Structure 1
Amino acid sequence: MKQLVILRHGKAEQDTMAKDDYDRVLTDRGNKNASDMGGFILKKWGVPDLILSSSARRAHDTAILAAQSLGYPQEEIRTDQNLYFAPSRWILNVISKLPDEVNRCLYVGHNPGVTELINDLGVRLDNLPTASAICFEFHIDSWADISTERAAFHWLKLAKEL
């Protein structure tokens, strides 16, 4: 069995003319929520085998804060620039290439792709709020076999509930 937790990055500063969207930083609330969600994930799910993140600063910073709360080594976070604003099918494609030794993956990404992915996996959601997480299970032995048809919803936690 494979498990995937999808975590939307924490609340980031608003777009500014001085900074590119890719380099936006987390707000104080975004930092706190990312850390708190990492703590929740640890209690609910345990430590992932892999944290996979968009390389955009707000997503990577969220992954780092969650990793710290999880006791996951920061240097082992895998980032991918292609996951920056990736659509659902691209995210699934990247996940399908994960090593089979990885049974639990925490993916940190952006809307609209994360909400699109959640909907494709069978949970109807208008919007996954910042620093919120959802878990799916797949009764497969290889990530290459991941599909929307094999997804089973496990849990959802909104940052505002922490």
Structure 2
Amino acid sequence: MKQLIIFRHGKAEQNTMAIDDYDRELTERGKRNANDMGAFILKKAGVPDLILSSSAKRAHQTAIIAAKSIGYPENEIQTDQNLYFAPERWIMNVLSKLPDNINSCIFVGHNPGLTDLINSLGVQLDNLPTASTACFEFNVDSWREVSTDQANFKWLKIAKEL
């Protein structure tokens, strides 16, 4: 059984000409929501085997803050620059290469790729809000076997509900 928690980064600074989009940081609300969602994930799903994040500053900050709430070691968070605004197909490709000893993964990333991924896994959603999560399970032994056909929706948690 493989479990995937899709986690959109927290609310970030507004895009300004002075800051490159990749380097935008979380707002105070974004930090608070990331912390609260981490605590929710811990109660709902426990400590994951892996937290994988886009290397964009706001996504990585979200992963770090959530990891602290979950009790996951910050130094074990994996980041990938190729996940910055990755489309759904690219995310699925990256997930398919995870080691099979990883049974649960939190993936922290960006829209529109995350919303597209959730939709392809069978849950129709217009927009995954910032700091919100969706959980899917796959009754497979290997991440190579994870597919849209295997997806079993477990829950969706919107940050403003916390």
TM band (smaller chain): over 0.9
Quote how far apart the aligned CAs of 1:52 are. 0.3
Runs of 5+ unmatched residues, structure 1: none
- Show CA shifts across 1:113-154 (max 9, x none): 000000000000000000000000000000011111100100
Matches of residues 1-162 of structure 1 in structure 2 within 5 Å? Answer: 1-162=1-162
Give the residue type in structure 1 aligned to 2:15: D
Aligned counterparts of 2:85 and 2:157: Cα–Cα separation in 1: 22
SS in 1 for 2:69: helix
In the superposition, the TM-score normalised over structure 2's length comes to: 1.00
Give the residue type in structure 2 aligned to 1:25: E
| CA RMSD in angstroms, aligned pairs only | 0.3
Runs of 5+ unmatched residues, structure 2: none
- Show CA shifts across 1:73-93 (max 9, x none): 000000000000000000000
Aligned counterparts of 2:101 and 2:146: Cα–Cα separation in 1: 14
Give the residue type in structure 2 aligned to 1:151: A
SS in 2 for 1:15: coil
Give the residue type in structure 1 aligned to 2:30: G
Give the residue type in structure 2 aligned to 1:50: L
- After TM superposition, the runs of 4+ consecutive aligned structure 1 residues lying more than 6 A away are none
Quote how far apart the aligned CAs of 1:66 are. 0.4
Aligned counterparts of 2:51 and 2:150: Cα–Cα separation in 1: 21
SS in 2 for 1:107: strand
- Show CA shifts across 1:48-71 (max 9, x none): 000000000000000000000000
Q: In percent, how many aligned pairs have the same letter?
A: 73
Give the residue type in structure 1 aligned to 2:50: L
SS in 2 for 1:127: coil
In the superposition, the TM-score normalised over structure 1's length comes to: 1.00
Aligned counterparts of 1:30 and 1:130: Cα–Cα separation in 2: 8
Quote how far apart the aligned CAs of 1:9 are. 0.1
Aligned counterparts of 1:142 and 1:47: Cα–Cα separation in 2: 20
Quote how far apart the aligned CAs of 1:34 are. 0.2
SS in 1 for 2:122: coil
- Count of residue pairs brought into register by the alignment: 162
Give the residue type in structure 2 aligned to 1:44: K
